Structure 1
Amino acid sequence: MTLSRRQVLKASGAAAALAAVGTPSRLFAQEKLKVAAIYTVPFEQQWVSRIHKAANAAKDRGDIEYVATENVSNTDYERVMREYAEAGNKLIVGEVFGVEEAARSVAADYPDTAFLMGSSFKPDDKNPNFAVFDNYIQDASYLTGIVAGAMTRSKNIGMVGGFPIPEVNRLMHAFMAGVKETAPDAKFQVAFIGSWFDPPKAKETAFAQIDGGADIMYAERFGVSDAAKEKGVLAIGNVIDTQADYPETVVASALWHFEPTLDKAIAEVKAGTFKAADYGVYSFMKEGGCSLAPLGTFEGKVPADVMAMVADKEKAIKDGSFTVAINDDEPKSS
């Protein structure tokens, strides 16, 4: 594309203005930001669906242009990152849990592009344009645990996760801590399926735990609630609200709201101040990054005193008088 002399002068003037005020980044503002996203799983997968939803909301507001690619393999991730950077996207979002080193290497080659990536690691000085995030929704997960502890009769709870990595582990631990508030003698069956999206495997794992006495399932992965529904036991949702899909099964869900995280990044890029930072804090409840989903058909079925406890804990979390512990260690059956 050939730029006119006027466009060149305008761009040069903007760059000079940013340099003059000592901005910490060479990223420049533009009216409608070009944003691209790279996902290793389908758009409908829980975690990715929340990022995709937030990006589409920003697009509908007219803040950004948005393109995305789903089901990108780890071996192809670097290529797609480079293609989006070469295409002029100024903010690239994704999840690099399996391609951390390659992703940071790509970011180093495109210093004028902002990268906001789901990661178990922290930002570093080598990549000033590479910020990280994770779904720190332990606050909402803890509240769902309080509900689950009140609803279990067998005091045996099944938990099926994808991989035992920090972003999964911390939510499981928070849920278990919540359960102990209302069922201190509860036991847990914990299993990981080794996949982010394998509903049949998650379902079979859940069946085994239900056969082992679990009467409430923590559905960290798709497929678990299906098993719970078929076996006539209850389930707790994670990241998204599936109550309408499982009205007699899903009691409560911890919702992740990615909007605060993405909106902060968009604002920083537009201001020319985007830098390496940990955006995980924007998933906290006090930042509006997570919440307890409405109980739907279970409204009135959870004891009133338990819901009063949930309300008190939520208030304390939001005002900072109570902090849900963040434990990234792999949870074990007990």
Structure 2
Amino acid sequence: MANSLLLNRRHILATGVAAGAVTLGLGRARAQTAPIKVAGIYTVPVEQQWVSRIHKAAEAAKAAGGIEYTFSENVSNTDYPRVMREYAEGGAQLIVGEVFGVEQEAREVAAEYPETAFLMGSSFMPDDALANFGVFDNYIQDASYLTGIVAGAMTKTGNIGMVGGFPIPEVNRLMHAFMAGVRETRPDAKFQISFIGSWFDPPKAKETALAMIEGGADVMYAERFGVSDAAKEKGVLAIGNVIDTQADYPETVVASALWHFEPTLTAALDKVKAGAFKAENYGLYSYMAKGGASLAPLGTFDGKIPAAAMEMIAAKEAAIKDGSLEVAVDDSEPKAS
């Protein structure tokens, strides 16, 4: 693999996608017993919330012996197509990543390698004309809604602060679901909303959160790293997103909406293994009913949330899982109130 691939990389595994490896053979069902060669391409560090869930699922699949896994992190959008090509040329059978800032270019690269499966986080739906390009997203609005019920029950001022990365669908839908949950237990709640223009800038997120707390917020929605630090510093509560940080903020993070990427990756790997991978919306595997989302354990806040709210959460969760309740997916930019 070219030396240039080492730029902005921390980790290229020795078991990576060696040149000359056999490609997938999309559409030709066949048994495959050897581990599937998987490559991850990430624009941020693997510690970042969203990407960490993909990375965690891939590492688990590797530990189970189902895949060989190599990855590149901190890949710029301008460099992303080149890295895609190098992994495809190197024999990767499944390439997973996130192309929110490089949608068109990524799809053009995928068209050049029809024998390679691409599973990409995307704001757009799959295109049947590009059969090897599946898309996914973190549709964890179900769990976000439940955390909103907690927030509404715990706020004393009714003033909720919300800090996000960018006002794009994958952020907007979670914020809207959270706000809907808040209104279940605090109908008169008001929301401060701000976007920091970055996926990974904890100092800026903290600064933004501090301003909201100064403005009266006593519960913070921590869509980005840094918000919970501000909440801890000022002695207010925070709601986590995508990952569980309760152990890091035991007196601050009261609840979190978790994303589990394992169902999404398993579905894709099964189809690659069968030679049946195609353009599909794998985002459906993030729904709570599919095991792709959950409410994190309450940890130190167990027993501290009002009983009425917990009863409501149990009833709503059961309804979500049996299909009688569908949490709305609203991708429009949320507005402060």
Q: 2:196 aligns with which of 193, 198, 204?
A: 193
Greater radius of gyration (CA): 1
Amino acid at match of 1:111: P
TM-score by length of 2: 0.92
Amino acid at match of 1:43: V
Aligned to 1:135: 138
Cα displacement (A) at 1:27: 7.8
Aligned to 1:258: 261
Q: Deviations over 1:238-282 (max 9, x none)?
A: 000000000000000000000000000000000000000000100
Superposition pairs of residues 87-236 of structure 1, within 5 angstroms: 87-236=90-239
Amino acid at match of 1:137: I
Aligned to 2:322: 319
Q: 2:69 aligns with which of 66, 70, 73?
A: 66
Q: 1:25 aligns with which of 13, 24, 27?
A: 27
Aligned to 2:296: 293
Cα displacement (A) at 1:29: 5.5
> Secondary structure of 2:329's partner?
coil
CA distance in structure 1 between the partners assigned to 2:30 and 2:208 by the alignment = 49
Work out whether residues 236 and 250 of structure 1, in 8 Å CA contact, stay in contact via their aligned partners in 2. yes
CA distance in structure 2 between the partners assigned to 1:109 and 1:26 by the alignment = 19
Aligned to 2:334: 331
Question: Runs of 5+ in structure 2 lacking a partner?
Answer: 1-21
Cα displacement (A) at 1:125: 2.3
Aligned to 2:50: 47
CA distance in structure 2 between the partners assigned to 1:27 and 1:76 by the alignment = 33
TM-score by length of 1: 0.92
Pair 1:198–1:29, CA change in 2 (3 A) = farther
CA distance in structure 2 between the partners assigned to 1:259 and 1:245 by the alignment = 24
Q: Deviations over 1:83-142 (max 9, x none)?
A: 000110000000000000010000000000000000000111231100000000000000
> Secondary structure of 2:79's partner?
helix
CA distance in structure 1 between the partners assigned to 2:266 and 2:65 by the alignment = 13
Cα displacement (A) at 1:174: 0.1
> Secondary structure of 2:147's partner?
helix
Q: Does 1:272 align with 2:248?
A: no
Aligned to 1:76: 79
Cα displacement (A) at 1:26: 4.9
Work out whether residues 28 and 269 of structure 1, in 8 Å CA contact, stay in contact via their aligned partners in 2. no
> Secondary structure of 2:264's partner?
helix
Amino acid at match of 1:174: A
Kindly tell me the number of residue pairs found equivalent between the two proteins: 314
Cα displacement (A) at 1:305: 1.5
> Secondary structure of 1:306's partner?
helix
Q: 2:308 aligns with which of 302, 305, 312?
A: 305
Work out the percentage of aligned pairs sharing the same amino acid.
Answer: 77
Q: CA RMSD in A?
A: 1.3
Work out whether residues 32 and 62 of structure 1, in 8 Å CA contact, stay in contact via their aligned partners in 2. yes
> Secondary structure of 2:84's partner?
helix
> Secondary structure of 1:236's partner?
strand
Pair 1:69–1:28, CA change in 2 (3 A) = farther
Aligned to 2:240: 237
Amino acid at match of 2:184: E
Cα displacement (A) at 1:25: 1.9
